[in-house]
């Protein structure tokens, strides 16, 4: 798949019919990979004198020094996208999935919520980084299979492709609450790392918190959740939350502080299609 509408990168040959000038492309049908892989395009790599060996430099006799190979910039840009997607921790089945690769059948029953959320995501990407745009997060809620994790991850992938934004995907229990609990255990390798762990979550530019409130949380957990979203709100960082429960269910938790913060920082959208995953299994939704 050529990536010309997803990224401003142009390190390939402008007339190339495979990459349309980007310099690399997304190969989708790869064995043992649900998400596909990024490949250097033949318009960059075929006549490349460095033979694809890092650091992609070649000796120039006339200048008597090493110069970047013709493939150098394209490989660097490809590597940067790969690195940001990997560092973000996006689950492998959602890696490189983008908004334009989702089927939007308007007539499907209960599909309205998904389309509204899809449009919202599209506008977010389009307006990213523009001045005077209010940075509003998203509270995507709906049942299993409604496509909320897919949409949230697609936003991260798009931000990485389009802008090289630093992103993070996390399951709220496994990646946040449990790791903080581990940091209290003397025998854990995370012992004493509580502040470092929290910093990773508060500092990252865009954060997806998947399964927010999936379990019945203790007062301790609720106060951790409040502190996290409150800090991100204060720092004006974008947070996207997915949940099985409607935002009003937070009204009684942590003295209602979580609810009021959520209302201030995130736009609630309900995905009401109960079997999006079943009816569109090829798209790997969740």
Contact residue for Zn ion among 3, 6, 16, 265 (CB under 5 A): 16
Residue 172: CB atoms within 10 A of its CB come to: 24
Here's the x/- map for Zn ion, 63-102, by CB under 5 A: it reads as ------x-x-------------------------------
DSSP state of 217: P
The answer to whether residue 120 forms part of the interface with Zn ion (CB under 5 A) is no
Which residues does residue 238 pair with via DSSP β-bridges, in sequence order?
206
Residue nearer to Zn ion on the CB measure, 2 or 231: 2
Contact residue for Zn ion among 6, 26, 48, 160 (CB under 5 A): 48
Contact residue for Zn ion among 3, 41, 159, 167 (CB under 5 A): 41
Token output for 208: 């997806």
Token output for 105: 């059948």
**Touching Zn ion, residues 170-189 (CB under 5 A):** none
Which residues does residue 168 pair with via DSSP β-bridges, in sequence order?
207
Contact stretch for Zn ion (CB under 5 A) within 49-57, 80-88, 201-209, 227-235: 49-57
241 within 8 A of 139, measured Cβ to Cβ: yes
Which residues does residue 138 pair with via DSSP β-bridges, in sequence order?
240, 267
Which segments of the chain does DSSP mark as H helices, in order? Answer: 42-45, 72-88, 112-127, 148-163, 178-183, 194-203, 219-234, 257-265, 276-279
The answer to whether residue 50 forms part of the interface with Zn ion (CB under 5 A) is yes
The answer to whether residue 43 forms part of the interface with Zn ion (CB under 5 A) is yes
Residue nearer to Zn ion on the CB measure, 41 or 150: 41
Chain positions contacting Zn ion, by CB under 5 A: 12, 16, 18-19, 41, 43, 48, 50, 56, 69, 71
């Amino acid at each position: 798949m050529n990536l010309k509408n997803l990224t401003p990168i142009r390190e390939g040959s402008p007339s190339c019919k495979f990459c349309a000038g980007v310099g690399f492309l997304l190969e989708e049908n790869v064995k043992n990979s649900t998400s596909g892989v990024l490949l250097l395009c033949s318009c960059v790599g075929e006549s490349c004198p460095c033979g694809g060996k890092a650091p992609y430099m070649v000796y120039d006799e006339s200048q008597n020094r090493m110069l970047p190979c013709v493939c150098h910039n394209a490989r660097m840009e490809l590597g940067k996208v790969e690195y940001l997607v990997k560092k973000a921790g996006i689950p492998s089945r959602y890696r490189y999935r983008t908004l334009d690769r989702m089927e939007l059948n308007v007539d499907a029953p209960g599909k309205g919520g998904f389309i509204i959320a899809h449009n919202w995501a599209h506008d977010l990407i389009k307006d990213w980084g523009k001045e005077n745009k209010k940075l509003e997060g998203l509270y995507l809620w709906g049942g299993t299979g409604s496509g909320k994790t897919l949409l949230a991850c697609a936003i991260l992938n798009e931000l990485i492709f389009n802008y090289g934004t630093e992103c993070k995907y996390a399951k709220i229990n496994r990646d946040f609450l449990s790791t903080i609990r581990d940091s209290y255990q003397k025998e854990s390798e995370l012992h004493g790392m509580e502040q470092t762990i929290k910093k990773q979550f508060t500092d990252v530019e865009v954060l997806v918190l998947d399964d927010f409130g999936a379990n019945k949380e203790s007062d301790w957990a609720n106060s951790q959740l409040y502190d996290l979203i409150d800090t991100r709100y204060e720092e004006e960082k974008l947070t996207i939350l997915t949940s099985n429960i409607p935002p009003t269910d937070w009204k009684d938790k942590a003295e209602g502080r979580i609810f009021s913060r959520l209302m201030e920082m995130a736009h609630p959208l309900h995905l009401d299609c109960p079997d999006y995953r079943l009816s569109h299994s090829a798209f790997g939704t969740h």
